[in-house]
Amino acid sequence: MDLEIIEQNDEFIIDAEYHLIDGQFVNTDGEIIQKEILKKSIEKQKLDDFYEAISTMNSLGINSNLRLIRARNGAKYFCIKIKENYTFNKVFRVDMRWLLENVALSDRAQIFLFRFQHYLHFPSNSIVVNSEHPTVEKLGEMMGVKENVTRKTLNELEKQGIIKTQQIANRRIVYFNPFLISSGGIIDVDTYRLFESSIYNSNNKFHITKRNVDGK
């Protein structure tokens, strides 16, 4: 078993027992700590963490590499990978939170997001059900609403830049904004181009994190 230690904040180390101030390590009483003593303390802490990791793995009854993450407040989290080799979506939490807190979406639009994010095709990020792009009528059936309501929902989401649609062979193909929810770590270039100017694209100078508090 391997133990990987990740420090999320280099200002506080070893469970906040020591602090780095003006290039020198001091303890909680303000006393300067020699590097040799600090090194021994770090090694002891790592050893303690390793034994704790072994105990954790034994209690779970699994054999896997363990990752130790130290949070900014000094809390420790022993973490393991789950469901490797399974398909998954990436949800960009900061952008999604901003969207839900700043954009007034109807209930049906929010339901649509939750209902169909699980049908995203990789790598196009389009909705695919049973190996084909569903019709608007089919989308409505899956939501339990009429076709005209589905069309209004699609128009609402597209107006807000959450989806894009393209009419291909009598089908309205629906693409999710990959800067909000992505079907993987990479995305088809054509899909990227559809959303390149999105405010949720971190490469865009108008990205939400570069806006003022009024969202302008």
Of the candidates 157, 121, 154, which has an alpha carbon nearest to the alpha carbon of residue 137?
A: 154
The amino acid at residue 144 is G
What's the token pair of residue 59?
């209690």
For 188: left if phi > 0, alpha if psi spans -120 to 50, otherwise beta; the answer is beta
The pTM assigned to this predicted structure is 0.71
Cβ pair 170, 133 in contact under 8 A: no
Cβ pair 143, 115 in contact under 8 A: yes
pLDDT of 64 reads 62
The amino acid at residue 118 is H
- pLDDT 10s digit of each residue in the chain, 216 long? 454 544 444 333 334 455 556 666 666 677 776 667 666 666 666 656 665 666 666 676 666 666 777 777 777 777 777 888 889 999 999 999 999 999 999 999 999 999 999 999 999 999 999 999 999 999 999 999 999 999 999 999 999 999 999 999 889 999 999 999 999 999 999 999 999 999 999 998 888 877 544 444
The DSSP element (H or E) to which 120 belongs, if any, is none
For the chain, residues classed under CATH 1.10.10.10 are 90-210
CA distance 10 to 192: 36
In CATH, the number for domain 90-210 is 1.10.10.10
Q: Which residues pair with 110 in a beta bridge?
A: none
Backbone angles phi, psi at 127, to 5 degrees: -80, 125
pLDDT of 212 reads 47
